[in-house]
Homo-oligomer: A and B are copies of this chain.
C-alpha cells in the first residue's frame, strides 16, 4: 500500500527546520525524546485506544479507565520507566483518572504538609500504590473560599484521636476526583477544633475504604456525583461526594508540618514557615499554564490541518474551491491562536524557572519574591486557561459543521478542558481578591515610596516615563520592533493600574472600592498578565535558537501574538492614550502582512508539536489529511448503525406512518 499524504504539498512549503522546532517546543532534546518515545508507546498499544469513548455508557467508560490505569502501571513497572517517563506515559494515555489525583495531589500534599515521620510512613505506600489517595477539599456549599469549609476535625484528648464530621449537607465533600469509587485514602481538609477553640483549616489523612474488600469504612458515606459535561471527557473520572459521621482517626494523621497538636492537646506552630504552602501553589499553577499550551496546541493543530484540507467557495471555472486556510477571516481567527499556543509554551517554561528560583529562595529563608511570584502565577493561570478554553471552542467553529462531530476530537477536548477555568482558583477570583489586582494596587501605591517593584512588575519603576511616553510607531514596520511593542504594552498596563488606583482612592472604604471597581481591576490585571506573556516571548527570542529559519518563524509568531492582542484590546490602548488611532491602524496593517508570512509555514508549525494521531484523537486533524473517507468509516461505527431499521421502528415510527396512533398505546 502506498502511503498518501494529502498535506505533503503544504509541508514542502515550510521555510524552516521542523525537527529543530520540535526541540524548541519540547524544551530540550531530552524532553523531546522522552515525549516522542512515550507517545508512540501509548499510541501502539490497543489497550489505550480511545476513539470509542463517546459511545461507551458511563459504567463501561469508567471500567475501561480502570483497565487503562492498571495497564499503564503494569507497563511502567515492566519497562522500568523513570519517573519522568512514567509522567509522560500517563499524560499520553490522555484520559482523566484517579491516578491524576493520587500522583498530582495526594502525594504532593503529604510531601508538602506532612512531617518527616509522616512522609516516611505514608509515601512508600503511596509510591507503590498499595494505597490510593485523593484530595478532599471543596464542599457542596463551598468552593474557592477555603476558609468557609464546614467539615470539622475535633481533637478528643481522651482517645488521642480526631473526630472528623460533616455537620451539614452543604459540608459534604463534593467534586474530589478519584473519591467516588476508587480511593482508599484521602487528605481531607477540615476546621481544626481543639478544646472548643478553632484553629483554621488543615489537612487530615483519612482512610475511606477497606483494603480487603473496598467497602467504605464505618461512618463514611461515599458516592459518585454523576455525569459531567461532554462525551467521554471527565466522565472517566469518579468525582465524588463524601460525608463523615464522627469518623475517628489517630492524632498523627493530621498533616503537621506547619501546625502541630500535641498529645496534651496543645496547638503548636512549628518553625517551618507557612509560606511554604505558596510554593506548592506556584508549582501547581505553573503546570496548569504548561497544560494550557498543550491543550490549545492540540486544538490549533486539528483546525490548522483541516483548514488546509477543507475547500469552500472561490472555485473558478469548475476548478477546485479555495482552501479555507487561505481566507483572511480564517487566518484572523486561527493564527493568533497558533501564536498563543507558542506564547503560552514559553511563559510556561519561564514559570518553571520561577518555581525553581522561588523554591531555592524559600529554602534560604528569603520570602521577598513570593508575593510577586504568587500573584503572577495566579494571573497567568487565569489568563492562559480562559484563552485556551475559548480557543478550543473557536477551533471547533473554524472546522465548520464537522467540528461538531465527536470524531473531530474537539468536543471532548473542550469538555475535558473547560473545568480548568474554575478549579485551582476560579479565574475571575484569581484576578481579584486572591492575587493580581491587589498586588498591582499595592505596587502602584508604593511607587513614590522608594520601594522598588520586583519581578514582572519591575517596569512600574519607570512610571514617570511610561505615564507620559508617546508610542514611536510611524510606519507599519515599526510594529515589528520589540521595544515598540513592549513599551506600548507597559504603558497600557501601568496606566490602567494607575487609573484603577486613582478611582480606588476616592472610596473611604477601600474594600467597598475594590468591590465596586472589580470589573476594571480585572481588566487591569489581564493587561498586566498579557504584558508578562509578550515580554517572556520576546526574552525567549533573545536567546540563541538553533535550526534554519526557526527563530524567524518564532519572531513572526511573537509579533502576531502581540499585535492580535493589541487589535482585540485597542480600546485599552486608545483610552489610556498609549497609542493613537493611526498607530492602531498601522498595527492592523502589519498584522495582516504577518498572516501572509505565516501561512506557508502553518502546517509545519503544528507538525512541530509532534502529536501522534492517537493523541490528537481527531479525524479532522489526521497527519495525512485523509479526512473524508475516515469520517465516513467512523460514522458507520455508531451503535445506531448496528441495524438499518432502528430499534423503535415497530413501536413508534410505523404506527405514525400507518395512522394507527389513535388506537396504539404509547
Residues of chain A whose beta carbon lies under 8 Å from any beta carbon of chain B: 47, 54-55, 57-59, 62-63, 66-67, 69-71, 73-74, 77-78, 128-132, 138, 140-145, 148, 169-170, 172, 175, 180-182, 184, 211, 213-216, 222-231, 234, 238, 241, 311-313, 315, 321, 327-329, 332-333, 393, 396-397, 400-401, 403-407, 411, 414-415, 418-419, 421-423, 426, 428, 432-433, 515-520, 522, 569-577, 581, 584-585, 588, 592, 628-629, 631-632, 634-642, 644-649, 651-657, 659, 661-662, 664, 666
- B656 near A241 with CB under 8 A, answer no
CA distance A172 to B629 in the complex (A): 11
CA distance A407 to B635 in the complex (A): 28
User: Which of A224, A225, A241, A332 is packed against the most chain B CB atoms within 10 Å?
Assistant: A225
Cβ-closest chain B residue relative to A515: B328
Residues of chain B with a CB closer than 8 A to A231's CB: 227, 229-231
Residues of chain B with a CB closer than 8 A to A629's CB: 169
Residues of chain B with a CB closer than 8 A to A632's CB: 140, 169, 172, 241
Residues of chain B with a CB closer than 8 A to A222's CB: 644
Residues of chain B with a CB closer than 8 A to A422's CB: 397, 400-401, 403-404
CA distance A216 to B312 in the complex (A): 31
Known: A148-B321, A644-B215, A657-B132. A58 touches B169 (CB 8 A): no
Q: Beyond the given A129-B656, A180-B640, A327-B518, please list 4 additional residue pairs across the A-B interface where CB-CB is below 8 A.
A: A138-B401, A223-B641, A228-B405, A228-B411
The residue from B432, B636, B646, B651 contacting A62, defined by CB atoms under 8 A apart: B646
Residues of chain B with a CB closer than 8 A to A401's CB: 138, 143, 175, 419, 422-423
- B329 near A411 with CB under 8 A, answer no
Give the distance to chain B from A634, nearest Cβ to Cβ, in Å: 6
- B241 near A635 with CB under 8 A, answer yes
Known: A129-B657, A629-B169, A640-B224. A143 touches B400 (CB 8 A): yes
- B143 near A628 with CB under 8 A, answer no
CA distance A406 to B227 in the complex (A): 6
- A407 near B646 with CB under 8 A, answer no
Q: Can you list 14 pairs linking A and B with CB atoms under 8 Å apart?
A: A55-B227, A67-B651, A70-B666, A71-B666, A130-B659, A132-B657, A140-B632, A145-B313, A148-B321, A214-B653, A230-B415, A234-B404, A327-B518, A519-B592
- B148 near A312 with CB under 8 A, answer yes
Residues of chain B with a CB closer than 8 A to A175's CB: 401
Residues of chain B with a CB closer than 8 A to A415's CB: 230, 411
Cβ-closest chain B residue relative to A53: B227
Residues of chain B with a CB closer than 8 A to A47's CB: 666
- B404 near A228 with CB under 8 A, answer yes
CA distance A594 to B315 in the complex (A): 51
Residues of chain B with a CB closer than 8 A to A228's CB: 404-406, 411
CA distance A645 to B212 in the complex (A): 12
CA distance A405 to B235 in the complex (A): 10
- B329 near A432 with CB under 8 A, answer yes
The residue from B226, B577, B588 contacting A407, defined by CB atoms under 8 A apart: B226
User: Which of A57, A184, A519, A634 is packed against the most chain B CB atoms within 10 Å?
Assistant: A519
Give the distance to chain B from A195, nearest Cβ to Cβ, in Å: 18
Residues of chain B with a CB closer than 8 A to A515's CB: 327-328
Cβ-closest chain B residue relative to A658: B130
User: Which of A57, A411, A644, A653 is packed against the most chain B CB atoms within 10 Å?
Assistant: A653
CA distance A54 to B393 in the complex (A): 21
CA distance A537 to B639 in the complex (A): 48
- B215 near A635 with CB under 8 A, answer no
Residues of chain B with a CB closer than 8 A to A649's CB: 66, 214
Cβ-closest chain B residue relative to A238: B640
Shortest beta-carbon contacts, A-B, top 10: A571-B571, A570-B571, A229-B411, A66-B652, A63-B648, A226-B638, A66-B648, A332-B519, A70-B652, A574-B574
Residues of chain B with a CB closer than 8 A to A522's CB: 329
The residue from B311, B433, B648, B657 contacting A211, defined by CB atoms under 8 A apart: B657
Give the distance to chain B from A585, nearest Cβ to Cβ, in Å: 8
Residues of chain B with a CB closer than 8 A to A628's CB: 140-141, 169-170
- A570 near B581 with CB under 8 A, answer no
- B58 near A55 with CB under 8 A, answer yes
User: Which of A175, A231, A572 is packed against the most chain B CB atoms within 10 Å?
Assistant: A231
The residue from B59, B312, B570 contacting A143, defined by CB atoms under 8 A apart: B312
Cβ-closest chain B residue relative to A414: B229
Residues of chain B with a CB closer than 8 A to A62's CB: 640, 646-648
The residue from B184, B216, B419, B588 contacting A520, defined by CB atoms under 8 A apart: B588
Residues of chain B with a CB closer than 8 A to A67's CB: 648, 651-652, 666
Residues of chain B with a CB closer than 8 A to A639's CB: 57-59
CA distance A59 to B640 in the complex (A): 6
Residues of chain B with a CB closer than 8 A to A77's CB: 661-662
Known: A405-B226, A652-B70. A144 touches B574 (CB 8 A): no
Give the distance to chain B from A653, nearest Cβ to Cβ, in Å: 6
- B518 near A226 with CB under 8 A, answer no
Residues of chain B with a CB closer than 8 A to A572's CB: 571
CA distance A576 to B582 in the complex (A): 10
Cβ-closest chain B residue relative to A631: B140
User: Which of A170, A175, A216, A422 is packed against the most chain B CB atoms within 10 Å?
Assistant: A422
Give the distance to chain B from A374, nearest Cβ to Cβ, in Å: 18
CA distance A638 to B224 in the complex (A): 7
Cβ-closest chain B residue relative to A138: B401
- A142 near B229 with CB under 8 A, answer no
- B433 near A313 with CB under 8 A, answer yes
Cβ-closest chain B residue relative to A412: B229
Cβ-closest chain B residue relative to A70: B652
CA distance A636 to B172 in the complex (A): 14
CA distance A664 to B141 in the complex (A): 42
- B313 near A144 with CB under 8 A, answer yes
Residues of chain B with a CB closer than 8 A to A406's CB: 226-229
